[in-house]
């Protein structure tokens, strides 16, 4: 079996302790297809992904309907909590 890297092939965690490898990420439209594939898991579904960034973000991101876990594997970052 070939090993897949999380930054190339994200994983969906679904109901019933399922972990399903996803098709390779190919841009923002990927998220719409992901939502359609796993709509049945509702709010209990989770996406595990890994990204590499080489510069600061110019925008904010937030998840008002759930929590997010962020892990920095190289370098440093500053996260701000907006409550």
Tens digit of each residue's pLDDT (9 = 90 or more) over 2-50 = 677 888 889 999 999 999 999 999 988 999 999 999 999 998 999 999 9
For 40-55, the pLDDT digits (tens) are: 999 899 999 998 888 8
Contact 49, 6 (CB under 8 A): yes
Q: Residue 34 is encoded by which pair of tokens?
A: 């992901």
The SS3 of residue 18 is: strand
Alpha-carbon span 55 to 58, nearest angstrom: 9
| pTM metric for this prediction | 0.79
The SS3 of residue 20 is: strand
Q: How many CA atoms, within 13 angstroms, populate the side-chain half-sphere of residue 38?
A: 23
Would you kindly state where each structural domain of the chain is located, as residue ranges?
Answer: 11-48
The C-alpha angle with vertex 27 and arms to 49 and 21, in degrees rounded to 5, equals: 40
């Amino acid at each position: 079996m070939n090993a897949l890297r999380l930054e190339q092939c994200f994983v969906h965690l679904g109901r019933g302790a399922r972990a399903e490898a996803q098709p390779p990420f190919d841009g923002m439209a990927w998220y719409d297809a992901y939502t359609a594939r796993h709509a049945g898991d509702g709010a209990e579904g989770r996406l595990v992904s890994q990204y590499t960034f080489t510069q600061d973000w110019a925008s904010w991101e937030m998840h008002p309907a759930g929590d997010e876990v962020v892990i920095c594997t190289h370098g440093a970052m500053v996260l701000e909590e907006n409550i």
